[in-house]
Amino acid sequence: MDRLEAMTILVAVVDKGGFTAAARALGLPLPTVSRKLAELESHLGTRLLNRSTRRIALTDAGHDYLSACKRILEEIGDAERKVAGEYVAPKGQLVISAPIVFGRLHVVPVIGEFLVLLCHKFWRCLRDDRRMQH
């Protein structure tokens, strides 16, 4: 049994409010989600969820285990992002939108220093006096 996968499934079931929504979100068949959670409960020797036809509810053990799962999965994600260099420097395109005069007087002088420090290669400065819709 892949415990990390089982933890991910448990978190998804609770966050999505049910097995069907979790299966859809994870791209897994519903029977697989149900089977993996049953295997996890069997491995742990306790029930994590009380199931009814209309809803699911965490048991006391389920609450404790769910908080541990979330912490563990977050730490793994942080470690992967750190190793991949995601925390070293921002990535992606920098887009700045400012009125023309403000952009010329305040943004352009500072952006050069900013780009040198962070080595951004892709940036756009949109200078327009029209009101922008977000």
Q: Is the pLDDT of residue 75 over 90?
A: yes
DSSP assignment letter at 119: T
Q: Report, as an integer, the average pLDDT of 88-114.
A: 76
pLDDT of residue 50: 94
Helix, strand, coil shares, percent, the chain, to 5: 60, 10, 30
Residue 20's closest CA among 5, 7, 9, 30?
30
CB 68 within 8 A of CB 54: no
The whole model's pTM is what?
A: 0.64
CB 69 within 8 A of CB 9: no
Residue pLDDT, tens place only, 8-21: 999 999 999 999 99
Amino acid at 132: M
